[in-house]
Amino acid sequence: MLSFTIFLLFLLFPSVESNTKIVVVWGVPVEQSAVKVNDWNKCITQCLNDVQCVVSGTLIQKTGTSCNLFHLGSVKTVRKTDKESGQKVGFKRTIDNCPNSIDPPLFGKSSVSQTFVYNGDNYKYNITKIGTTGWSFGFSNTIQCPDDSFLSVRNKNQVCISVQLFPGPNFCKMQADGIKLCQSIGAIGLTGPYTYPEGNIIANHAANKLKETTSVKYKYQNFWIDGDRTGKTTVKVSDPTLNGVEGYDWQTSLTKVDETYSCVYLGTKGIYFGKTYPYECSSDKAGGFCMRGAICRTKPVTYY
């Protein structure tokens, strides 16, 4: 039977008992990328107070005790040891009460899910039992997007993109309204295509979104995207996940477009499908054109 102890700490509100606990068992993290803490009790306290900490490990030596804190992503496997090894680890668990099971730290389960919030983002990972030899941490750093958004990968970045329509009665609006539209849903801001293929994907999502509202009768319904034209052929973007405007597939060469057209839209129909084009920021509609909404980059719901 494994010897184990549960350390309980009151968090956030002194009068409210927290369900965050450290379950200590004999074991050792295989990875050694950690934050060192000299005192074991301080190590336990720090791990409880550090939302990113998922496990604490210690090696008890004849000359003293040292302890390491492991953040999510820095530990993948914990190997089970015994009392003679002098090696023990503390797993951070979210449990209401001390279970009666004799199989810590999962207490009879083959796998458990843990979550925490860091900088306003939700993180989720799994702790899974590896036979009788130890435990593994499952975390792929993949994002889950809100229901109204879709996931897109931009080099090392994963982003959530949302197609937003202007509400009536004025369905066609200016670029400033597009920025406000993104802000109204709590989005990070306007975004644009990272690559030509992504531009087509966004345009396809936008075209499908337009099918939900057939009452707006314009031949070309376009969407405001990130872009501030600062010169004849120069356009700056505010979204750091974009590679400038490398992914913008211009429908017409910028050298042939009036310099007063300093904002940018993405087309969804005909020859404008997936294409980007500079336009007057204060324009909302003209002829068969309607600036129907905005392309926003939204915040992920969960990292898992």
Condensed to tens digits (0 to 9), the pLDDT of residues 244-258 reads: 999 999 999 999 999
Report the 10 Å Cβ neighbour count for 141.
11
What is the token pair recorded at 56?
A: 């604490």
Predicted pLDDT at 3: 34
CATH class for domain 146-303?
A: alpha beta
Q: DSSP state, 231?
A: S
Condensed to tens digits (0 to 9), the pLDDT of residues 255-300 reads: 999 989 999 999 999 999 999 999 999 999 988 999 999 999 999 9
Spell out, as residue ranges, where the chain has pLDDT lower than 70.
1-18, 32-33, 58-65, 101, 214
Q: DSSP letter string over 132-169?
A: TTEEEEE----EE--TT-EEEEETTEEEEEEEEEPPSS
Distance CA 166, CA 211 (A): 14
Predicted pLDDT at 160: 97
Q: Where in the chain is the domain with CATH 3.10.100.10?
A: 146-303
Q: What residues have CB less than 8 Å from 122, skipping those under 6 apart?
A: 115, 116, 300, 301, 302, 303
